Structure 1
Amino acid sequence: MTFRLLFVLVLLKTSSGLAATGAADTARAEFETGNYSAAVKTVTAALSQTPEDASLHFWGLRSYYELRDYGSAVTHGERAVKLEPHNAEYNRWLGRAYGARAEESRSFFIARKVKQAFEAAVHLAPMSIAARRDLMQYLAEAPWIVGGDKTGAREQIEAISKIDAAEGHLARGAYLAADKKWQEAEQEYSAALDARPNQIESYMEVAGFFEDRKNAHEIQRAVDAAKHIDPKDPRLDYYTAVGLILRRNELPTAEKLLRSYVATVPQRSNYPSHRAAEQWLSRIGR
């Protein structure tokens, strides 16, 4: 092989890699704006040129997951993990895709894969609270026949607490809620607020829990604290509206906030659904 030919081949490989990186960035941007179908098109087109790019398969997984096409999400997730088996986030999201697919198809076989993927994520990133929370939730809620293990769940809670005390309260609250020990769970979620987490998702979890418990005071506490982290997060308007409706106060404001939420905020698995917003709107006139 001549030097010139070798140089050309290296150039082609480099430009192909740069193109794949650009496509992954584009897909991620489309994903972040809620345009999941566009992200899928971007990923599909790019994979026809660079089928071995794990990041493209990851954004395919994430986008199909939001579109609730869990079979396609699993396909892309498995490919991403095969290409980059040591990536903890790829394993974690594959576990989530397995979980959604198992629930959809009621498959014990797929359900067993959920635990394996979450365990892999924790092994690869032992300081990842997100990975430990996903594993804890699975162990706490899954039947024993597919790997449910209350003792293992409590071990994950202890590990999380050692990493971050506030997140430990959240994990313990979620565990107690799964057992329907509502009073104890409420105490843990309130303690999490008192501990002042530094992640917006922590406050949103607290607000979501107290939405279910119809506790307007703690919802507002979560919203007020979250504003110091990210005052522009659109979920703040949703939870503010929920608190107002529960208190039967400023109902026109609550209605305006919820209608704006439905009209402008894309559907996302970690956001309150548009359906939930419509249900709260229906309570305004009661």
Structure 2
Amino acid sequence: MSRDFCFRLRTLFPVGNLLLMLLLLATTARAATTDPKELLNNGQVDEVLRLVAPRATGNNAAAFNYLGRAYYELGDWDNAVRNCERATQIAPNNAEFQLWLARSYGEKANAARPISAYSLARKSVAAFTAARNLDRHNLAIARDLGEYYSTAPSMVGGGSDKALALAAEMASEYPSAAAWLRAMVAAHNGNDTEAEREYNESIRLDRYSASTYIELARFLRKNKKWDYFQQTIERAIKSSRIRPVDRFDAAELLIRANRALPVAAQLLRAYIQSGHTEESAPLFRAHFLLGEVLMKTGDSAQAASEYRAALALASSYRPAADALRRLERR
């Protein structure tokens, strides 16, 4: 999700540059697939909307789910919720559909006013719980529910006791994730020493994977332990167990921290060029983030190219459209 869900209460502009031409050629090649899941992994949201929308009728739950996920990538929470709700109404016993509904409710809650957020949060945890009950071996579901429990207040179904109970359930099958969840609980309760210990235990149990280092780095960024943060990001990047999506996540953390921006740019370029992009880290968003880095480092021309590259894949992605509009008005 949000990458993982965390609870907290186009216009396509014409351009003739080589970078966009190459991107469009690559997009055309990728577009040979009509599988919505592959298209989402490729960041081709416009293609998903074009191909799937006509199918989203009657009892086609999968089509409604894919539409909801496409809108989720775009940050259009209203349409994400509407389509994910329809999918679960048709197929209430599908754990994946319940997971995406829960995520959509959660993100809509994040953007809502307090009264609406309360109701949406309760719906979110109900859908997470339904997903967990339907598939108790799904790690993504367990992590998202655990993150909700560890960060949401009790009045909307959160609580450290629930998170720790879930961690105990996860421990035999997913020991590293269980340690991560215990770290989340400790961090939320202000026990930074225990949190750090559990994050490091999670790293050890997952054999020093980049993703577990990145989770520790998230904690260190929040606590502004900048030297340790930088060291942890470097360890993630150097890990022998690094996936393309880990490079995206590391870059996003560096951008949020406003640190080592040239490294963030390198990581984003590596992700974009990897050929192994994921739905959880949309390719169009990688282009947008690279544009943001280039703007901060003074390369406005290349930043504009990256914003256009994002819009070539997701023409209604407002952050990229707004950034390009601001740039063209300068």
Q: Which residue of 2 aligns with 1:44?
A: 53
Q: Which residue of 2 aligns with 1:218?
A: 232
Of residues 217, 229, 235, the one that matches 2:248 is 235
C-alpha contact (below 8 Å) 1:237/1:257 kept by paired residues: no
Task: List per-residue Cα deviations over 1:187-208 (Å, max 9, x = no partner).
Answer: 2112211112597754543444
C-alpha separation in 2, matches of 1:114 and 1:252: 35
Where do 1:99-178 residues align within 5 Å? Answer: 99-106=106-113, 107=116, 108-178=118-188
| 1:97 corresponds to 2:104 | yes
C-alpha contact (below 8 Å) 2:36/2:66 kept by paired residues: yes
Q: Which amino acid aligns with 1:56?
A: A
Structure that is richer in helix per residue: 1
Shift in Å, 1:148: 2.2
Of residues 55, 66, 70, the one that matches 1:63 is 70
Q: Which residue of 2 aligns with 1:80?
A: 87
Q: TM-score, normalised by structure 1?
A: 0.72
C-alpha separation in 1, matches of 2:261 and 2:111: 38
Task: List per-residue Cα deviations over 1:156-203 (Å, max 9, x = no partner).
Answer: 121122322111111112222333433322221122111125977545
C-alpha contact (below 8 Å) 2:61/2:87 kept by paired residues: yes
C-alpha contact (below 8 Å) 2:248/2:271 kept by paired residues: no
Shift in Å, 1:209: 3.8
Change (3 A) 1:32 1:162: same
Task: List per-residue Cα deviations over 1:25-76 (Å, max 9, x = no partner).
Answer: 52222211112232122210222xx532221111111111111111111111
Q: Which amino acid aligns with 2:251?
A: Y
User: How many positions carry a matched residue from both structures?
Assistant: 253
C-alpha contact (below 8 Å) 1:190/1:218 kept by paired residues: no
C-alpha contact (below 8 Å) 2:210/2:237 kept by paired residues: no
Q: Which residue of 2 aligns with 1:5?
A: none
Bigger-Rg structure (1/2): 1
Name which of structure 1's ranges 54-63 and 127-136 shifts more when overlaid on structure 2.
127-136
Change (3 A) 1:164 1:197: farther
Name which of structure 1's ranges 55-64 and 229-238 shifts more when overlaid on structure 2.
229-238
Change (3 A) 1:205 1:252: closer
C-alpha separation in 1, matches of 2:267 and 2:246: 14
Structure 2 SS opposite 1:163: coil
Change (3 A) 1:133 1:197: farther
Structure 2 SS opposite 1:127: coil
Change (3 A) 1:200 1:79: farther
C-alpha separation in 2, matches of 1:224 and 1:165: 23
Q: Which residue of 2 aligns with 1:30?
A: 39
Shift in Å, 1:240: 11
C-alpha separation in 2, matches of 1:228 and 1:262: 15
Q: Which residue of 2 aligns with 1:15?
A: none
Which runs of no fewer than 5 residues in structure 2 stay unpaired? 1-32, 299-330
Q: Which has the higher contact order (CA 8 A, sep 6+)?
A: 2
Q: Which amino acid aligns with 1:220?
A: E
Which runs of no fewer than 5 residues in structure 1 stay unpaired? 1-23
| 1:260 corresponds to 2:269 | yes
Shift in Å, 1:238: 2.9
Q: TM-score, normalised by structure 2?
A: 0.64
Q: Which amino acid aligns with 1:222?
A: A
